[in-house]
Amino acid sequence: MFNIVIFGPPGSGKGTQSERIIEKYQLKHLSTGDLLRAEKKSGSKLGEQIKALIDQGNLVPDAMVEQMVRAFVINNEKGYGFIFDGFPRTVKQAAWLQQMLKEVSADVDLLLSLEVEEEELKKRLLARGSISGRADDQNEQIIENRIKVYHSQTMPVIDFYKDLGKFAGVNGVGSLDEVFERICDTIDSYK
Ligand code: AMP
């Protein structure tokens, strides 16, 4: 089982590149953003709470996301491994993930961080918002808040994996093919 965390600020290409990675490496895609958006759409009470947080660009509480991740991993455990997209987003989630994977005799093998500068992120997110209709991609202030949240709460996760010797940074600027090639070179050097 080979488990990867695809990491990076909003708009760095995690979701897009995940689709290619799962196909090539036969991994199961676990996107917490997708799971949360599905819950949000369901109209449940929990979905309403999630909507309020996502639409403002704030993080959903750790325990709520962890519960979804645990259910997903348990239901899909027989695969070749997972690509965690958008998770962990806090150091607490990272420590929780280590512990949870240990329970199923697995581990994170690599955190692959897509590096893209802020102006480019904003451009990409606004362009995506005009197509996808995602409320959190359509408003510049909310985009800025998401980037701020990334810096304050999510970036410390990098040091967590650096300390474990499992961090790799990848230049996320270029064509989709160019970035994918860099990603594959990195994964192959860790496999
Ligand atoms: P994403 O699709 O990964 O950009 O996530 C969209 C939104 O979902 C984020 O801005 C957060 O509000 C929420 N979200 C996704 N993943 C997490 C997570 N691991 N922890 C907390 N909130 C999350």
| Closest approach atom of ligand 1 to CA 93 | 19
Terminal Cα-to-Cα distance of the chain (whole angstroms): 10
Q: Active-site residue numbers?
A: 14, 89, 128, 134, 146
Q: Which helix (H) or strand (E) holds 4?
A: strand 4-7
Residues near 84 by Cβ (< 8 Å), separated by ≥ 6? 3, 4, 5, 6, 30, 32, 69, 97, 108
Q: 53-76 pLDDT, tens per residue?
A: 999 999 999 999 999 999 999 998
Cα of 104 from ligand 1 centre, angstroms: 24
The pLDDT value recorded for residue 81 is 94
Within 6 Å (CB) of ligand 1, which residues are found? 10, 32-33, 36, 53-54, 57-60, 65, 86-87, 89, 93, 136, 146
Residue whose CA lies nearest to ligand 1 atom number 12? 54
pLDDT tens digits, one per residue of 112-122: 999 999 999 99
Is there a cis peptide before residue 88, judged by omega within 30 degrees of 0? yes
Phi, psi of 63 (to 5 degrees): -60, -35
Three-state DSSP class for residue 117: coil
The pTM (predicted TM-score) of the whole model is 0.96
Residue 111 has pLDDT above 80, yes or no: yes
Q: Where are the alpha helices (DSSP H) in 91-166?
A: 91-103, 118-132, 140-149, 156-163
4 pLDDT above the threshold of 80: yes
Q: Does pLDDT of 79 surpass 80? A: no
State the pLDDT confidence band at 133, using cuts at 50, 70 and 90. confident
What is the pLDDT confidence band of residue 93, given thresholds at 50, 70 and 90?
very high
Arithmetic mean of pLDDT, 123-149:
94
Computed over every residue of the chain, the mean pLDDT equals: 95
- Confidence band, pLDDT 50/70/90 cuts, at residue 1: confident
Gap from CA of 32 to ligand 1 centroid (Å)? 6
**Residue from 87, 147, 157, 92 nearest 123 by CA:** 147
Q: Whose alpha carbon is nearest atom 5 of ligand 1?
A: 33
Q: pLDDT band at residue 104, thresholds of 50, 70 and 90?
A: confident
What's CA 29's distance to the chain center, in Å? 10
